[in-house]
Amino acid sequence: MAFYEDKQTYRCRVAVQRFAEIGNNKTQAFVLDVEPIGIIDTDGNVLSCQKSNYTQELKFWLTKKAAERSIERLEKLGWPGTSFKTLDPTLEGHHSFVGLEIDLVNSHNHNGGKVYDEFDFKFEGNSERPESTTDAGRKFDALFGDKLKNKGKAAPAQQPGAFPPAGAAPLDDEVPF
């Protein structure tokens, strides 16, 4: 069951690092087990928080789709990114994250009628929308224009929201009842 507040940022301390196979599919991941040690208020102050008996898993998926993002995140935490072997805690001289404090956001994950805590980094995306590329329409016409040309000949163009004239035949994609 969920222990921590939903959509709240916590200061967390890394307790353990490990490689793991997670879930029924045994998906490969590098995992940091973290302990929330404080809640961050709106002014950025770290306040004390209740402590659970359990650590939270921060997963860095090591799949073809997710590896690049995981590498970027690990590098932001200070890993030099030269070899995954350097993360192996069983090897002498490994890169250790243990004791590192990081800010993570908790989100409640609903699964099977139960609610679980799920800690992850704050959203890293750009909230601004990029400008439309000026030649995108031309590129899409080159790729898919032949599909549009056939439709254009089937019926004359209508103004958006306009009704066809009374007695007009239905358009190809309409089914008369």
Q: How confident is the model at residue 88 (pLDDT cuts 50, 70, 90)?
A: very high
Asked if residue 33 lies in contact with residue 55, where contact means CB atoms within 8 angstroms, the answer is: yes
Q: What confidence tens digit (pLDDT) does each residue in 19-49 have?
A: 999 888 899 999 999 999 999 988 888 888 8
- In whole angstroms, what is the distance from residue 44 CA to residue 108 CA? 22
Residue 6, number of CB atoms within 10 A of its CB:
13
- Residue 132, domain member (yes or no): no
- Within a domain: 1: no
- Report the predicted TM-score, pTM, of the whole model to 2 decimal places: 0.65
What's the domain count of the chain? 1
Q: Which domain holds residue 96?
A: 8-120
pLDDT attached to residue 127: 47
pLDDT tens digit sequence for 113-152: 898 888 888 865 554 545 555 665 666 667 666 666 555 5
